[in-house]
Amino acid sequence: MSDVLSQNEIDNLLAALSTGELDVEEMSKADEKKVKDYDFRRPAKFSKEHLRTLEIIFEHYGRLLATTMPLYLRKNVQITVENSETVTFSEFSNALSNPVILGIVNFNPLQGQIIVEVQSNIGFSFIDRMLGGEGTALDRPRPFTDIEMPLIEKMVTICVQQLVEPWENVVNIDPILDRIETNPQFAQVISPTDMIAIVTLNMKIGDVEGLMNFCLPFFTLESVMDRLNTKYWFSSMQRHNEENDSEFLESLVRRIDVPVKAVLGKCQVSVSDFVQLQLGDIIRLDSKVTQEMHVYVGDIDKFTALPGTSDKKYAVRVTSVIREEE
């Protein structure tokens, strides 16, 4: 009986309709369900969450590459993530220019390959800079020569090597550059109808600006798709930091070289005696052989020790540790 309106409610509803407070058309539209067209030729295999996580990964990648490239180019490099989208591989390949730099990368241990596309003006700027020029690009693109191709391969190899760290929160990868193609027709490593995610980066070397695209096929990332969400990514990153940061810092500290010196004793001599010192002269110290000496770590008096030998070499045996409060 709750669906039956009272006379008072009916009067209020009619009054609202007559005054225009309620619109019959808007009320009818509110009940309609919104229908969205679905293109079966382009299935939505990458969600917005997946694309956002890929952008976060490549933002990290861009920062790494921006600090690595200047070591080779001796020039400021700026890299930012422009956008990410999903398209079919045919749409990606049809939009490629000729010549273009396409790095075919084995994305081990994941199956399949990814493609790294670098615009030719970035490649010519890299070549010019590596050969001692100012790093300017050509006005008219031309095919790369046999002498220039090893430099292009070096550039793409640098870019591929920096992929390891940004991806470690998702999967430990070992990317290997398989080959370089400059003609899009020879880079058909993916089925034309397969869906791919494209992450576009803007690279600026000095005054030369160009795009770098990463083509990531769905079947390559399919096994780790459940990890490509920000919740998993940040949780794994936090867990990784909590577990490994202290051990990592400790390992770094353990590898630091510090100077250690054992002081047998001290004495004072005049400048004239010092100048006249000859081979065989004896300098008398202010300590005895049986007396403990001090061992310094850096400039800090850290140990006491007794002198001796070990394997026919001078050595000291630590007898006590001097605490800071002492």
In a domain, 20, yes or no: no
Together in a domain, 300 and 232: no
Together in a domain, 62 and 118: yes
Q: How confident is the model at residue 32 (pLDDT cuts 50, 70, 90)?
A: low
**Residue 122 predicted with pLDDT over 80:** yes
> What value, to the nearest 5°, has the Cα angle with vertex 8 and ends 5 and 11?
95
Domain count, the chain: 2
pLDDT tens by residue, 253-281:
777 788 888 888 888 888 888 888 888 88
pLDDT tens by residue, 235-247:
655 555 555 667 7
Looking at every residue in the chain, the average pLDDT score rounds to 80
Residue 311: CATH number of its domain: 2.30.330.10
In a domain, 6, yes or no: no
DSSP conformational letter for 10: H
**Strand 77-88 with 113-118, pairing:** unpaired
What are the DSSP calls for 129-186, one per residue? HHTTS--PPPSS--PPPTTHHHHHHHHHHHHHHTTHHHHTTT---EEEEEEEESSGGG
In a domain, 26, yes or no: no
φ, ψ (nearest 5 deg) of residue 67 = -95, -20
- Lowest average pLDDT, out of 12-21, 131-140, 166-175, 206-215, goes to 12-21
Q: What percent of the chain has pLDDT over 90?
A: 0
**Residue span of the structural domain in which 289 resides:** 258-270+281-321
Q: How confident is the model at residue 24 (pLDDT cuts 50, 70, 90)?
A: low
Together in a domain, 183 and 294: no
Percent of residues in the chain assigned helix, strand, coil, to nearest 5: 40, 25, 35
In a domain, 245, yes or no: no
DSSP conformational letter for 3: T
In a domain, 248, yes or no: no
**Residue 165 predicted with pLDDT over 60:** yes
For residues 109 and 248, the model is more confident at: 109
In a domain, 36, yes or no: no
pLDDT value at residue 268: 87
Together in a domain, 82 and 154: yes
Together in a domain, 150 and 291: no
Together in a domain, 149 and 225: yes
Together in a domain, 211 and 288: no
Nearest to 103 by CA among 157, 60, 174, 61: 157
Mean pLDDT of 297-326: 83
pLDDT value at residue 1: 41
Together in a domain, 126 and 190: yes
Q: How confident is the model at residue 2 (pLDDT cuts 50, 70, 90)?
A: very low
pLDDT value at residue 163: 87
Together in a domain, 85 and 53: yes
Cα 170 to Cα 229: distance, rounded to the nearest angstrom: 9
pLDDT value at residue 140: 75
For residues 154 and 41, the model is more confident at: 154
What are the DSSP calls for 171-206, one per residue? ---EEEEEEEESSGGG---S-TTSEEEEEEEEEEET
Q: Do 108 and 173 form a contact (C-beta atoms < 8 A)?
A: yes
pTM, two decimals, is 0.58
**Residue 20 predicted with pLDDT over 80:** no
Mean pLDDT of 15-35: 63
In a domain, 120, yes or no: yes
In a domain, 33, yes or no: no
Residue 58: CATH number of its domain: 3.40.1550.10
**Residue 119 predicted with pLDDT over 80:** yes
- Lowest average pLDDT, out of 63-72, 141-150, 230-239, goes to 230-239
What's the token pair of residue 98? 């000729």
pLDDT tens by residue, 169-191:
888 888 888 888 888 788 778 88
pLDDT value at residue 238: 56
Cα 233 to Cα 220: distance, rounded to the nearest angstrom: 18
Together in a domain, 101 and 205: yes
Together in a domain, 225 and 107: yes
Together in a domain, 63 and 157: yes
